[in-house]
């Protein structure tokens, strides 16, 4: 049997009977819910339907043995609920993986045994201080600023969901400042480095050569390059239509998703010489597929960069190969992702518009572009202003006509209104 009763202006007590004790006494489970929607509170039928729906859910949880009283609910137990009822259904796979890694390796070993309502701000402060120390977590080295930030973010996400589900009145992290991340100096190739990079690429296998040249010129992210298919290439019009990314493999198969900013597609124009190179590579690719015969494992998908049998490279393989090529040719030590920075930096330094660079890079807004590449845009703004230096009047206007002031500043004589009226009347002939 289940029922509910109003306890306040916006709070309701849900009651579900859960059988009898050994002494014959009825067992009851209760749960208080709060309705924050004022419009819902003013609509009798809609409010009744909402409360009855919540009561039904509560009764199902009790009967299935899944309900735990909030005052007894430990963080470990809540995180299990969070995984099953929210994260696995709503979050992107890679995002959920990242949260799970932070929870399993750092948060739950330290805080998991605590009851939700017992976790206080000082517990969070102590925890973050603990994991920031060398050797305190699963790694012997000190965690990076960005990892600490992501641990903090994960815990906030979980506790905010506990508030949303009315298991907590307030998150213990409310009011706590976020960990700071020290901004690292961005690395990228300048023009001389790019020439050295290209020279090195033409000493490598054609597959790796064109994969890394694609990364450098298009500015695509690693997973976006890995996910390219020949159907994405529009040779006549000179562009690539980017629609997907392979951020990781799952059970030996590529996990395909839309691009990072969830855009439908992104058009990336490429230079003529690059497209000519890719046409030649496509002939090589088709010959290789034919030679594979029955061993071809690419199926219907025509992945451009694959390991020999049609299956695209894993992102980790690409990163590992980049490290080997850098060492082999003594290239300036930058990350694979820094080839993307190289593209953006070069275009901005050449005076390309922020909007065009934003669209090419796939940033969701121009503010992201200017925030990340502020050091470049400042130089570009200065260069833009310098373009007007050729109009300096001192170069072509007589010196006696240019503005010079060496005298004493005097207050302007106040014009008499009556004198002004007489002057106007005189001009009209009145």
SS3 229: strand
Q: Is the pTM of this model over 0.85?
A: no
Model pLDDT, residue 299: 81
Q: Contact, 245 vs 257, CB < 8 A?
A: yes
Per-domain residue ranges of the chain: 2-67, 72-164, 191-380
Query: Given this model, what pLDDT does residue 386 score?
Result: 61
Question: What average pLDDT is seen over the chain?
Answer: 84
361 close to 354: Cβ distance less than 8 angstroms: no
Banded model confidence at residue 211, pLDDT cuts 50, 70, 90: very high
Q: What is the CATH number of domain 191-380?
A: 1.10.443.10
- In the predicted model, what is the mean pLDDT of residues 302-324? 94
The residue among 62, 56, 53, 60 whose CA lies nearest residue 30 is: 62
Look at residue 345 in the predicted model and tell me its pLDDT: 85
Q: ∠ CA 205-209-215 to the nearest 5 degrees?
A: 150
Whole-number pLDDT of residue 58: 84
Which candidate, 154, 160, 162, places its Cα nearest to that of 103?
154
Q: What is the pLDDT of residues 35-62, one digit of tens each?
A: 888 888 888 899 999 999 988 888 887 7
338-369 burial, b for 16+ CB within 10 Å, e for fewer?
bbbbbbbbbbbbeeeebeebbbbbbbeeeeeb
Between CA 328 and CA 214 the distance in angstroms is 20
Give the range among 190-199, 278-287, 348-357 with minimum mean pLDDT: 348-357
Q: Which two tokens stand for residue 349?
A: 């330094």
pLDDT digits (tens, 9 = 90+) for 270-281: 999 999 999 999
Written as six digits, the tokens of 244 are: 């997907």
Q: What stretches of 13-120 show up as alpha helix (H) in DSSP? A: 38-41, 44-63, 75-82, 88-90, 93-102, 108-111
Token representation of residue 186: 């961005």
> pLDDT, tens digit, for every residue of 119-156?
999 999 999 999 988 876 666 678 888 899 999 999 99
Q: How much is the pLDDT for 233?
A: 97
Class of domain 72-164: mainly alpha
């Amino acid at each position: 049997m289940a029922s509910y009763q109003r306890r306040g202006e916006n709070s309701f007590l849900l009651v579900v009977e859960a059988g009898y004790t050994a002494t014959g006494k009825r067992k009851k489970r209760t749960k208080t819910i709060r309705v924050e929607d004022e419009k819902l509170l003013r609509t009798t039928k809609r409010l009744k339907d909402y409360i009855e729906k919540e009561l039904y859910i509560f009764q199902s949880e009790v009967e299935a043995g899944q309900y735990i009283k909030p005052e007894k609910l430990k963080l470990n137990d809540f995180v299990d609920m969070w995984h099953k009822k929210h994260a696995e259904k709503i979050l992107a796979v890679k995002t959920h993986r990242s949260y799970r890694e932070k929870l399993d390796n750092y948060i739950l070993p330290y805080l998991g045994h605590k009851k939700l309502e017992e976790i206080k701000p000082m517990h969070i402060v102590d925890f973050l201080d603990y994991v920031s120390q060398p050797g305190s977590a699963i790694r012997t080295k000190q965690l990076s600023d960005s990892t600490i930030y992501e641990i903090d973010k994960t815990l906030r996400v979980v506790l905010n969901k506990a508030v949303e589900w009315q298991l907590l009145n307030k998150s213990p992290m409310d009011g706590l400042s976020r960990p700071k991340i020290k901004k690292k100096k961005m690395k990228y190739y300048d023009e001389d480095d790019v020439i050295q990079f290209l020279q090195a690429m033409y000493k490598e296998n054609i597959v790796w050569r064109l994969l890394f040249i694609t990364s450098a010129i298009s500015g695509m992210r690693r997973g976006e390059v890995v996910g390219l298919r020949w159907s994405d290439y529009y040779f006549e019009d000179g562009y690539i239509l980017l629609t997907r990314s392979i951020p990781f493999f799952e059970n030996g198969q590529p996990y395909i998703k839309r691009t990072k900013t969830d855009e439908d597609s992104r058009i990336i124009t490429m230079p003529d010489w690059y497209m000519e190179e890719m046409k030649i590579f496509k002939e090589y690719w088709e010959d290789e597929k034919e030679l594979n015969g029955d061993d071809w494992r690419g199926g219907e998908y025509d992945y451009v960069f694959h390991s020999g049998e049609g299956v695209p490279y894993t992102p980790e393989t690409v990163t590992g190969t980049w490290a080997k090529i850098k060492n082999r040719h003594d290239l300036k030590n930058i990350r694979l992702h820094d080839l993307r920075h190289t593209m953006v930096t070069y275009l901005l330094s050449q005076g390309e518009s922020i909007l065009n660079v934003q669209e090419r890079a796939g940033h969701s807004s121009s503010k992201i572009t200017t925030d990340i590449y502020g050091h470049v845009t400042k130089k570009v703004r200065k260069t833009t202003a310098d373009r007007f230096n050729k109009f300096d009047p001192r170069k072509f206007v007589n010196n006696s006509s240019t503005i010079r002031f060496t005298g004493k500043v005097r207050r302007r004589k106040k014009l008499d209104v009556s004198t002004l009226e007489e002057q106007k009347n005189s001009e009209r002939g009145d």
